[in-house]
Amino acid sequence: MIELEHVWQHYGVRPVLKDVSVTINPGELVAILGPNGMGKSTLMGVIAGTISPLKGTVRIEGNRRRGSVEEELEIRSRVIYVPDHPWLPIKRTGREFALSVARLYDVDDERLMMHLDKLLKLFDLDEQANWTIESYSNGQKHKIALIAALLSDAPILLLDEAFSGGLDPAGIHTLKKILRHRVQVQGSTVVITTPVAELVEEVADRILILHGGEVVAYDSLVGLQKLANCHGSLNDVLQNLTHPESLSRLEDYLREELKP
Ligand SMILES: Nc1ncnc2c1ncn2[C@@H]1O[C@H](COP(=O)(O)OP(=O)(O)OP(=O)(O)O)[C@@H](O)[C@H]1O
C-alpha cells in the first residue's frame, strides 16, 4: 500500500502540491491525470522519493519514504521508478543497461536473460538491443527504460508519463496489456501519470485527478462520471471537473474568430 498524508510541496513560494492525502491499494493500477503543469510529475517524484515534500509523509508498505536508511532500502528493493526523462548511460547498449538495472533487484540470471529477450521482441527492440543507447530514437530510449523497469520484477511500478516519450501505438498497446496483467495476475501495484485521458481510460482501476496541485477527484471511471454528472468518456469527465468553461470558450472562438 502507498499512503500519502497531508503532502505539501512548494517550488520557491509557489505551492505545487496542496495537502494531498491519498491511498493506493496493493494490486491496483492508479492513473494520476490532469492538465499540464498541475503537479503530476511532482507528486510522482514525492512518491518515488526523489523529491522530499515540504510537509507530510509518504509510506510504502508501512515504511516511511526518506525515513531511516533501513526503511528506504526496504522500499527501494520493492519499487521501481521511471521518470518522464530518465537518465540513460548512452555509451552502453540497451541490453547492458536493462540487465544492470534488473540485477539491482536480485532477479535470477537465467530468468533475466529469457525475460529480456521476450520483452525486447515485444517492444520491437531486439535488433537494437546490442547498439549503444546514443544511437536510439526518443521512442526507443523510452522503450528501453520501460523494459528495464519491467525486467526488475519489482512489485511496485511508478511510471511517469508512461505512454509518452515517443512510444508508438504498438508499444502503448503492449505496455497497457503487460501492466494490466501484472496487476491482475501478479498483484503488482502500478502508478502512472498522463495528461491524456484516453490513454488510461481502459486500464486504470482508479483515476486521481490533480488540478492546481489539489486532488479534485479520486475514483473509478464510473465513480467519476457520477461525481461530474457526465456519462461521457474520461476526457469529458476530466474537462467537466477541471475546465468546465473550456468547451464553450472553444465554441465561442470558432464562431467569432474563424468565420467562413
Ligand atoms: N524544479 C522546478 N522549479 C520550479 N518550478 C517547477 C519545477 N518543477 C516543476 N515546477 C512547476 O511546478 C508545476 C507542476 O509541475 P509538474 O511537472 O509537476 O506538472 P505536471 O502535471 O507533471 O505537468 P506536465 O503534464 O506538463 O508534465 C508547474 O507549474 C511547473 O512549472
Which ligand 1 atom is nearest residue 43's CA? 18
pLDDT at 255: 79
pLDDT at 190: 97
Determine the residue of 9, 14, 38, 210 to mutate for testing ligand 1's pocket, defined as the one with the most ligand atoms within 8 A of the Cβ atom. Answer: 38
Residue 44 CA, ligand 1 centroid: distance in Å: 11
Residue 40 CA, ligand 1 centroid: distance in Å: 8
pLDDT at 257: 78
pLDDT at 247: 66
Q: Rounded to an integer, what distance in angstroms lies between the CA atom of residue 204 and that of residue 179?
A: 10
pLDDT digit string, tens, across residues 194-234: 988 888 888 999 999 998 889 999 999 989 888 888 888 88
Structure pTM? 0.91
What cell was used for 243? 475546465
In this model, does residue 245 exceed pLDDT 80?
Answer: no
Please indicate whether residue 80 or residue 34 has the higher confidence score (pLDDT).
80
Other CB atoms closer than 10 Å to residue 185's CB: what's the count?
9
Chain-centre distance for alpha carbon 90: 23
Answer yes or no: are the C-beta atoms of 188 and 196 closer than 8 Å.
no
Answer yes or no: are the C-beta atoms of 211 and 242 closer than 8 Å.
yes
In this model, does residue 250 exceed pLDDT 80?
Answer: no
Q: Rounded to an integer, what distance in angstroms lies between the CA atom of residue 152 and that of residue 102?
A: 4
Determine the residue of 13, 32, 33, 41 to mutate for testing ligand 1's pocket, defined as the one with the most ligand atoms within 8 A of the Cβ atom. Answer: 41
Residue 244 per-residue DSSP state? T
% pLDDT > 70, the chain: 99
CA distances from 126 to 77, 93, 118, 173 (A): 28, 12, 9, 18
What cell was used for 180? 494490466
pLDDT confidence tier of residue 4, bands split at 50, 70 and 90:
very high
CA nearest ligand 1 atom 23, residue: 37
Q: Rounded to an integer, what distance in angstroms lies between the CA atom of residue 256 and that of residue 60?
A: 52
What amino acid occupies position 86? P
> Which domains, ranges and CATH numbers included, belong to the chain?
2-257 (3.40.50.300)
pLDDT digit string, tens, across residues 83-133: 999 999 999 999 999 999 999 998 988 899 999 999 999 999 999 999 999
Which ligand 1 atom is nearest residue 45's CA? 18
